[in-house]
Structure 1
């Protein structure tokens, strides 16, 4: 390697380190500049002492300590920043930042209002939640996610070509949800209701990434956004449940039963608006939830590992096959998705420069356990399809999903193993997961668009 190549690689490492530092909202850009100056000075001293640039960089980063310690130190020195981030319209001290914050707020309010209006439009045509539950099950994400995508695209200043692609994909989703002659209790309604939100959420990802769709870092940022968005949405759902119970019981105490208002207005309008508000909160208050989500990941990873291992032991002990009826298939697929979610979010919150540790080994155990369960489910589904039961939309969709998850989990397990054995870099696992996202999108669209006519709309 020439000296110029070594210098270019060193600059790339500095850039990667800086990008990771800037993910912490406790650290402002000028803080990152200060840290980078300190890091560069340490690297120069180590290179002058005879180390290679790569060795000097790793030693200098190690001497600086973990980023958690650095961010906590900066948070202590500038504690007012954290409090400002907890306020809806924080006083940042910068007129430009204040203007942007107000614009984001009004954009969020406009998009949330659009989502609320969208969910009430079907009522103008005589549709209601009780008699037309199938329609709302297929279309509910179409009422909310386009507005979340609109907010993110506006915030990212997406190009017209990106906006055109977003509009086309959401329109395609609306056609897929409503054009096919599906009976209310058909299996195709179920698979569409499950897979269309997945397909449309990855369209939201396109709005989030905007012009950087090839960047695996931006894809990893979207994975992080997804986890944080989900946490905010759950917290708002819990608050909405408390509000609904409070309204119902207090008004009932004075002889008024607001059941229709709650079921027809408060819950659907609140749910669609919350989808947009949660996205805005993640964008504006990322540092607050960054302290929560990694803790939840580390809490539930060992619990799910123990649960999956106990299930495998029970399967071997009882020699009982897995039920592959519709409810069981959905349950097992959700279980595997949760495991994958724990893996993805722990990857997005991990320091890529940190060496392998005990938690990485625990994640490997979790992935291997999930992989074993996936194999068992695949064997049962294949057996049912090849026997007298034949193929149905549910089984075919589950078969494809489990094959996709099998490939992902198998290669993830291998990459984790090689990382733990220090034979590959952590970024290889990140690149694999972010590069695999289009596979999920492609399969979800296939199920939504192809399966209903393929199985004669049953």
Structure 2
């Protein structure tokens, strides 16, 4: 009897704990959304800050000395402000932290350094290390004297580095695909990459990586889908820019062997972004802004796939069938069907005509087709095209 009572009491406590936890998660989600908006706003601000000197004639490629000495000030004050806001630091503490950055900026810019000299290089190397302590004080919420807070900042610094590297790898893949597909229509994006994409991405990614570290406890092992959500808008923007440039310039698409492979890889990456984003989504949640972004991504990928198919067809008509062209043709047709129906289902979901689980089922049901086509290429192609 006592055991039964204890069992019922345990069930009662467990049920109430679940209810309390669920109720507590609702404001937490709102807080995470607010943090996301703040973090992305600060990341955009960092990207804007690093381009502001160019308005005064201080270009990155012609004034490397200035940027070496001041790189820390484009992002670390914003990161400090993020933690000051989140930890609700007192105004007096914020003033002291701001004063530290002002004094550092004075030392960095008022000393008469010889351009390219040793002391200037040493300042550029050590200034971020010194200012990282200022970030740590803001991170600790003014409790830097506590060992646990300092150790938390050490952990944060390590995780920030790891997340930053992951974002950089994703950004590198995005840039590589961008350079390749724009190269197929004779557009050189290297100047844009060097002047805009690289400096803005390097600074803005620090804020985003810090935000990811901060919300890691709420991701519960779903970091890959979070990265997919971060890069989905970027890939959509890249594809739309490519399609718009192709339409505006009227340049001919050059579908050589490496280009065919790269286009297929790009579309596979887009498909992976879609799958990971779907895996992270609550199937019962109402349509939101990110769902619209997903529709834009899928639609732009669908149009890019159609362009690739057109280019492949022209190559086959002009030069005949080869193993690479047929393999690319088959993969693009399979991707076309998947993306087309995914776009239809996503639009129907947003318009309230179907539920999200239908889209989820379609994606999982379609996975075997990729394996079947891969098996055909492995088994049948050598017999059709020979073993050379």
- TM-score, normalising length from structure 1? 0.42
Indicate the structure (1 or 2) with the bigger Cα radius of gyration: 2
